[in-house]
Amino acid sequence: MNLIKNGENQFFHFLNGGAGVGKSTLIKAVYQSILRFYNSLPGYYPDSIRAALCAPTGKAAALIDGMTLHSFLSLP
């Protein structure tokens, strides 16, 4: 959140860990926090926020309401 609040336009993070440690939960929480922050700014429109929620497998992508890395990058 500090990156967002300090005006960084883009940031990329890689999150890894074993099964069941909460990666998907953390991704959803961070995404929701970013949306809440931008929605609290006057004159900022939610449609202007662009985020790619990606995961390596279809199951993980479904858990975060995202897409697989292959789909996002248009890889075969």
DSSP 9: S
pLDDT value at residue 6: 65
Query: Domain of 7?
Result: 2-72
What is the mean predicted confidence (pLDDT) over 9-14?
70
Rg of the chain (C-alpha set): 14
H or E segment at 42?
Answer: none
* pLDDT band at residue 1 under the 50/70/90 scheme: low
Q: Is the dihedral of CA 70, 32, 27, 30 positive or negative?
A: positive
Q: pLDDT higher for 60 or 45? A: 60
Give pLDDT, residue 3: 61
Query: What ranges in the chain are assigned the alpha helix state H?
Result: 2-5, 23-40, 58-63, 69-72
Q: Report whether pLDDT(61) > 90.
A: yes
Q: What is the number of structural domains in the chain?
A: 1
Residue type, 4: I
